[in-house]
Structure 1
Amino acid sequence: MLEQLLIFTRGGLILWTCKELGNALRGSPIDTLIRSCLLEERSGDASYNYDAPGASYTLKWTFHNELGLVFVAVYQRILHLLYVDDLLSMVKQEFSSIYDPKRTAYNDFDDIFQQLKKEAEARAEEMKKSKQISKPLNNSNLGRKQGQVQNSSADGGNKKKSGGKSGNDSGDDGNLKGYPKKNENNNYGKSEEVPSKIDHNNKENGTSNANAFDVNKLKLRSKGGKKTAPVANKVPKEEPKKKVTKKNRVWDDSPKEAKLDFTDSVSENGEENISVVAADQGESMMDKEEIISSDSESEEDESGKDNKADTKKKGWFSSMFQSIAGKANLEKSDLEPALKALKDRLMTKNVAEEIAEKLCESVAVSLEGKRLASFTRISSTVQAAMEDALVRILTPRRSIDILRDVHAAKEQGKPYVVVFVGVNGVGKSTNLAKVAYWLLQHDVKVMMAACDTFRSGAVEQLRTHARRLQIPIFEKGYEKDPAIVAKEAIQEASRNGSDVVLVDTAGRMQDNEPLMRALSKLIYVNNPDLVLFVGEALVGNDAVDQLSKFNQKLGDLSPSPNPRLIDGILLTKFDTIDDKVGAALSMVYISGAPVMFVGCGQSYTDLKKLNVKSIVKTLLK
């Protein structure tokens, strides 16, 4: 049974809902659909499943892009209603004919909806019955055909057994069509002789085929060797002529570089000079605003490239006339060439293929049926829609201000806890030190917790960063339970007045269940304020697998009914990827978590925010 059907605008104004259905939905499936699917550019999906305590719903929807309307149907997932798609299309057609932007109530649509619902249900029942009837008919026809084949084969066998004249009623003397006939002596005639294998070297064979190509003539012609021999000998004759000469070394008289050793200076007593490091680092890039040039030449060039497919398909005159006069309604076939070019471009920028395809489907759904404005090309319209979609995806759904949250936790008398997780070798410890340096610049007391008790040298590495930054570190050595170490570190931070605790964890692959279970225990026991996933910007499609598996394992292995998942992303090695920035889009799309930090170098200042406009411009360039 249909639970609910709503019609609302893109702005969120509910125009009509079915009063006779009137079922109270458990939870908030409509709000979740808007927040998790429509705003995240997942509207190209066929349906959305919503789970609530005691109920599970399936939601289906359709758009009227020209009028800006959304039609949503909600029903119990266990029912599998077949008429919902047909009902939504009929409701969309009927409601759009009576829609007036000035009206806010449509009580007269109740009777129309009931009639449409009855028609959709009756049509679904007829289709179901026709499918049930067609199955036995197809089986009987199949058995009838098999019987005919068996009878014909039996007749053929009887004809072969009877032999002689009975098998030659057709007048072909028992010979198959296309084969030579036998003579009276039961031999093949000379004129109709079966061709044997051609032997060009056997001279005793008197029969020759006039149409056959004589290989002996080719051999005689090739014996002259005037034309063919030089061609084969050209390459080896030229090879010895090539002489590799060693180039003379050019010595550079320019002055040498200052020094390549950037380690800390050591005093005469053997102690490191730590104050020099902290003074020379300067201001963190997190507090600097990135300036983006607003040139539109690249966009025009790319849109011109995308429009080539439209020009080839529809011709120059039709495309120009369409761009000048506008088009009544955009169809899916009009959008396919530009969307295919956009998908290829996103994939070249390291966006996962599955995500690029879903994005293009979502953009196609949002543009299908929309009116194309005058003096506007389809490619530029599609690119503008894709740009808006990418901005919505990369913009965080909720504001995460670490400095504000740190001060709020300080007022409550407890430290702000951040846990860094990720796979092996992505740079968790290094970027943890960068975050610590940024917090120190804002007068925040930071303490590190060495909870990587698995990898050899991890504690010493973190101890080095703490000594260089002159901040305290809590460590218990190796082969300890990381959850207990993190808990004791938080207690120590409360005693010594630290504002933030940065917890370093061991790197682990997403398929390593024992280590993932230990990580899930650490998060469950300590309940951190922020769980940061540290990932590389150059991994490409593997980022989707890493992030989805981490979230899945954290949810499955947690004993809590409401498990903590990844809250934010820290992208490392961002300075090594040039324009291949697609990993950021893939990670945000698959998890819904924002990119909070971007590592772009090896010093403590090389940490900055993700500039959404810059990423979108790079993806579409």
Structure 2
Amino acid sequence: MLEQLLIFTRGGLILWTCKELGNALKGSPIDTLIRSCLLEERSGAASYNYDAPGAAYTLKWTFHNELGLVFVAVYQRILHLLYVDDLLVMVKHGFSEIYDPKRTDYGDFDETFRQLRKEAEARAEDLKKSKQVAGKPLNNSKKQGQVQNGGFEGVGKKKSQGNLANDGEDGDNRKGHKLENGHSNGYHVDSEKTKVNGAANGIGNTSSDAGAFDVNKLQKLRAKGGKKTETFVSKGSKEESKKKITKKNRVWDDSPPQAKLDFTDHVGENGDNIEVVAADHGESMMDKEEIFSSESEDEEDEEDVGKDSKPETKKKGWFSSMFQSIAGKANLERSDLEPALKALKDRLMTKNVAEEIAEKLCESVAASLEGKKLASFTRVSSTVQAAMEEALVRILTPRRSIDILRDVHAAKEQRKPYVVVFVGVNGVGKSTNLAKVAYWLQQHKVSVMMAACDTFRSGAVEQLRTHARRLQIPIFEKGYEKDPAVVAKEAIQEATRNGSDVVLVDTAGRMQDNEPLMRALSKLIYLNNPDLVLFVGEALVGNDAVDQLSKFNQKLADLSTSPNTRLIDGILLTKFDTIDDKVGAALSMVYISGAPVMFVGCGQSYTDLKKLNVKSIVKTLLK
């Protein structure tokens, strides 16, 4: 049974609701749909599932982009209503005929909706009966048997097509992982080193203008079975190998000297250790405003057509595009949008955006533009580009305030420390970036205490202790093989007694599939109820970012024993200075989790921490 059907404008004004249904919805499914789906550019999805205590709804919707209207149907998830999609299309067509922007009361639409609903239910019933007839057992009659065989053959084809579709989806996923390996690594090749190494292996290019080895020659060598080739080494490489300085071995004996063997401190020019003090490393980049030029680059008309196109095709495409831009198009159709959307999808994927995310974004943009009138002197490609830019800005812009300093002072007024837990996979730089956050907080006169809750990895406590000594910050530690949840709880109690404003909790790195460690993390978050759960992820990853974040959130939700599940609140992206223009991981992470990027690590010193520049990221993704 249909629970509710609403018609409202994109501005949020409700124009009509079905009084005949009159069912009171439990929770707030419409508000959740608008906040989590429509405003987050997930409107290209087929449906949305809403879960609340005692309520499980499925919501479906459609748009009238020219009039700016949204049509939403709500029904119980346990019911599979086949007529909802058809009903929404019929209601959209019927309501658009009587819509007037000056009107606010549409009571006369009740009777029209009643008739449309009966018609849609009748169509669904006829379709259901026709499927039942096609599925009846075969009769002895040869003629009827032929008909039935034809019916079963059609059903079998549909079933096989469905299986092929599922296989295709799996194939797409595999394709996405291959894409990650091909595009996510933004490393640069040192031409001089590659030139020497290539020459040494006999596959290098001896020409002065060639810096890297020739891949074609390498493939030919493999095809020939790896025949012997002449090897030659340049004189410069021999001289460099002779001059190469080797590391001096450290001598360990039974009676070490009295001088401390601590090589973590700064070392002077003469090799003497310098005493570590809380030196000022400079102003953190978090407090520096990044200057961004909003001037957009001029678009090239020939680029959209293609450089390798024939002159006739190029001329025809240019003329038709120019004619449409001058005369305007009545309504944009899906076929008009597909070329521009495909080009945008490929561009996003080359910038390290996960394939699944790029496809969903293009679907959402298509849903927002389909049926809309193209303005005069405007091309379809520029319209799609503007819509995608607006969608990306809306996704990357935080939905809530992320002013940590304000939240810290609010917690201080309540006489309790502000607790931040750093989580993530192995080797992403949690401890290093925790120290960067601590240094930034120190600059704002905030007292900080570190909690060494990584009791799993060897050397983790010593690493955090080194950062604490350099920054002159107290650290709470209990050694290894302790319960990290209990260590964090005791650290928070110690910070409350000492009057520390912030507690930064370092946790062990764990893969998203490691069930015991994920269970320990869920226990730590549930027991201590931190103010902020920060996921630390690498900016280098592509499709893997989607898998990491989605599984972290899923595990935290599944393993939580509290009805109010705590998920990831924010993201800290590390190694952002190594990716050049491959900034797609930021978009993938925000899209899959809905959590904002709160910090960006861009170097190895304590000052190398900054905010995410949304305009710069969007420009990089679309250029």
TM-score normalised by length of structure 2:
0.79
Pair 1:432–1:245, CA change in 2 (3 A): closer
Counterpart position of 1:620: 622
Superposition deviation, residue 311 in structure 1: 6.7
Counterpart position of 2:345: 343
Contact 2:365 2:388 (C-alpha < 8 Å) held by counterparts: yes
- Given residue 67 of structure 1, which amino acid in structure 2 is its aligned partner? L
CA distance in 1: counterparts of 2:305 and 2:445, whole angstroms: 54
Counterpart position of 1:274: 276
Counterpart position of 1:168: none
Contact 2:138 2:145 (C-alpha < 8 Å) held by counterparts: no
1:300 partner SS: coil
CA distance in 1: counterparts of 2:74 and 2:234, whole angstroms: 78
CA distance in 2: counterparts of 1:142 and 1:320, whole angstroms: 58
Superposition deviation, residue 240 in structure 1: 13
- Structure 2 residue 106 is matched with structure 1 residue 106: yes
2:26 partner SS: coil
- Given residue 288 of structure 1, which amino acid in structure 2 is its aligned partner? K
- Structure 2 residue 94 is matched with structure 1 residue 94: yes
Pair 1:311–1:342, CA change in 2 (3 A): farther
Contact 1:8 1:70 (C-alpha < 8 Å) held by counterparts: yes
Counterpart position of 1:172: none
Counterpart position of 1:474: 476
- Structure 2 residue 71 is matched with structure 1 residue 65: no
**Mean Cα displacement is larger for which, 313-322 or 452-461?**
313-322
CA distance in 2: counterparts of 1:6 and 1:419, whole angstroms: 42
Counterpart position of 1:517: 519
Counterpart position of 1:541: 543
CA distance in 1: counterparts of 2:52 and 2:584, whole angstroms: 34
Superposition deviation, residue 307 in structure 1: 4.8
Pair 1:326–1:31, CA change in 2 (3 A): same
Counterpart position of 2:365: 363
Superposition deviation, residue 245 in structure 1: 7.8
Deviations 1:412-439 (A, max 9, x none): 0000000000000000000000000000
- Structure 2 residue 576 is matched with structure 1 residue 578: no
Contact 1:483 1:518 (C-alpha < 8 Å) held by counterparts: yes
2:8 partner SS: strand
Superposition deviation, residue 316 in structure 1: 3.5
Pair 1:314–1:111, CA change in 2 (3 A): farther
Contact 2:134 2:148 (C-alpha < 8 Å) held by counterparts: no
Superposition deviation, residue 136 in structure 1: 2.8
Pair 1:605–1:55, CA change in 2 (3 A): same
Pair 1:241–1:429, CA change in 2 (3 A): closer
Listed as ranges, the matches of 1:183-332 within 5 Å are 246-247=234-235, 264-265=266-267, 272-275=274-277, 278-279=279-280, 281-297=281-297, 300-301=299-300, 305-308=303-306, 315-332=317-334
Superposition deviation, residue 130 in structure 1: 1.7
1:136 partner SS: coil
Superposition deviation, residue 126 in structure 1: 1.3
Deviations 1:87-127 (A, max 9, x none): 11011001111111111111111111111111111111111
Contact 2:599 2:611 (C-alpha < 8 Å) held by counterparts: yes
RMSD: 2.8
Pair 1:13–1:561, CA change in 2 (3 A): same
Listed as ranges, the matches of 1:308-457 within 5 Å are 308=306, 315-457=317-459
Deviations 1:168-202 (A, max 9, x none): xxxxxxxxxxxxxxxxxxxxxxxxxxxxxxxxxxx
CA distance in 2: counterparts of 1:316 and 1:293, whole angstroms: 30
Deviations 1:385-444 (A, max 9, x none): 000110111111111210000000000000000000000000000000000000000000
Deviations 1:452-488 (A, max 9, x none): 0011100000000000000100001111010110001
CA distance in 2: counterparts of 1:244 and 1:519, whole angstroms: 56
2:516 partner SS: helix
CA distance in 2: counterparts of 1:603 and 1:481, whole angstroms: 31
- Structure 2 residue 6 is matched with structure 1 residue 6: yes
2:435 partner SS: helix
1:274 partner SS: coil
- Given residue 296 of structure 2, which amino acid in structure 1 is its aligned partner? S
Contact 1:532 1:566 (C-alpha < 8 Å) held by counterparts: yes
Superposition deviation, residue 265 in structure 1: 3.8
Contact 1:307 1:338 (C-alpha < 8 Å) held by counterparts: no
Counterpart position of 2:205: none
Listed as ranges, the matches of 1:43-58 within 5 Å are 43-58=43-58
- Given residue 71 of structure 2, which amino acid in structure 1 is its aligned partner? F
Counterpart position of 1:21: 21
CA distance in 2: counterparts of 1:240 and 1:107, whole angstroms: 87
1:100 partner SS: coil
Listed as ranges, the matches of 1:51-200 within 5 Å are 51-136=51-136, 144-145=145-146
1:597 partner SS: strand
Deviations 1:37-59 (A, max 9, x none): 10111111111111121121110
Contact 2:599 2:609 (C-alpha < 8 Å) held by counterparts: yes
Superposition deviation, residue 132 in structure 1: 1.4
Counterpart position of 1:199: none
Pair 1:404–1:138, CA change in 2 (3 A): farther
Gaps of 5+ in 2: 150-223, 241-262
CA distance in 1: counterparts of 2:147 and 2:127, whole angstroms: 29
Counterpart position of 2:567: 565
Contact 1:448 1:503 (C-alpha < 8 Å) held by counterparts: yes
CA distance in 2: counterparts of 1:494 and 1:397, whole angstroms: 31
CA distance in 2: counterparts of 1:496 and 1:271, whole angstroms: 32
**Mean Cα displacement is larger for which, 62-71 or 138-147?**
138-147
The runs of 4+ residues in structure 1 deviating greater than 3 Å are 137-148, 239-252, 265-272, 306-316
